[in-house]
Structure 1
Amino acid sequence: MGTKIEVDRFDGKRDFGLWRRRMYAILVQQKVAKALLGEKKLPDTLDPKKKDGILELAFSTLTLNLDDKVLREVSIEKTAAGIWSKLESLYMTKSLQDRIHFKGEAETTQEGYESGDVLCTSNCKSDNCWILDSGCSFHLSPNKDWFETFNESNGGQVMLGNNKSCRVNGSGTIRLRLSDGTEKLLHELRYVPELKRNLISLGTLDQMAYTFKAANGILIISRGSMIYMKGT
């Protein structure tokens, strides 16, 4: 039986990034995190009653974890995806401020973050950081020369947390070398030159049947009995 995760109701004054991270962990534990992407993102093959159950549970869980003041601010929203998006627009005041940091090799920096260390690979330049992101729809990177395969194209735009839009100039695969010596290949990764960080999308991994477990400040990503990666 899994450990029950509890969080304080968000009152608009607490650290939204930390609350958002814990709230996402609860929805993952309940197996309804996909509802944050909207009903259209749920599999077409899903039984209608099960689909309704996922959407309703995610909506009610978010609603019950908001203080009265914040709940009034999102009361017009009728879906979990709508509430999540509205909260981000109201309280995510800085792009990338609440990311879950992925541990590469052992140097740290405080570059552009409001809380927590950023754990980077090798020489700790800002564009060498890999960050596990619960709000990102795709894997993203500004480093074109890291791609093993690459298809240059006009891939539209992505919107950052500060409402800045950035152009996607192609997609491909990147091979990650982790601190334990293992290698992981990320597929369908978008190339966005204007980004300052490399982002690994938890939503994308969730759709690929990976599971997430948070304990003692560490996020463990696994599929079955195999651990895929860890973030701190």
Structure 2
Amino acid sequence: MTNNNPIGLFDSGVGGTSIWREIHNLMPNENTIYLADSKNAPYGLRPKEEIVALSMKNTEFLLDMGCKIIVVACNTATTNAIKELRSKYDVPFIGIEPAIKPAANNSATQTIGILATKGTLSSELFNKAVEIYQHTKIVEQVGHGLVELIESGQMDAPEMDTLLRSYLNPMIAANIDYLVLGCSHYPYLIPKIKKIIPEQVKIIDSGEAVARQTQHILREKVGLASNRKGSAVFYTNSDQKVLSSLLNNEYQVIKKDF
């Protein structure tokens, strides 16, 4: 079954491009439309009702563009709003959640760390997932300020290293052997994180698994694109420079109020 309509992705900002990259690498023939709601970032500090409303607004933008499937490339939006999105819209949704399962199942020290936003860590969906792993010590840490620095183009600011050390050092002291990144912005910080944590601590993010699940749902229910190179268009309601720089200035970034 062939379906050349685009895959739609949205995030509270630029971080979900880490998910987009995995999808694009796995399915280069697919057309994609990415929506960065940077004006309202971070979602992690907002109440659930607001996160749901913003997620619906983003979904409707992408549906108006003819998207055949929506990837909620934001942990906070997934854990707070995906149930409401699936009940309201007749299109498949792919969510992104912190990858607790592979970390907990493979941890030798039975201690894992999770770095995420407040909105994700306090969500009902996240806490239900945590309850399954009673025999694993889960060290949770809210990444206060990290998304804001990434969104403002200050990934290499000294403050970023200071914040990361303050968040990761207690996890190291607790003897974690897996670090789960529970925000789609955080994979961009992996090079910095690797300089802080011991070499034996494995870092897990959800990007590759989300891409595989998207491919599976397309193949089973929606249809994959035909055998040609796909296009990629990016929209933001904030400054285009940060998004363009994360994409190495290789793609069109359109500023649009939404």
The question of a shared fold, defined as TM-score above 0.5 by the shorter chain, is answered with no
Q: TM-score, normalised by structure 2?
A: 0.27
Identify the structure with bigger relative contact order (alpha carbons < 8 Å, sequence gap 6+). Answer: 2
Q: Which has the higher strand share?
A: 1
Q: TM-score, normalised by structure 1?
A: 0.29
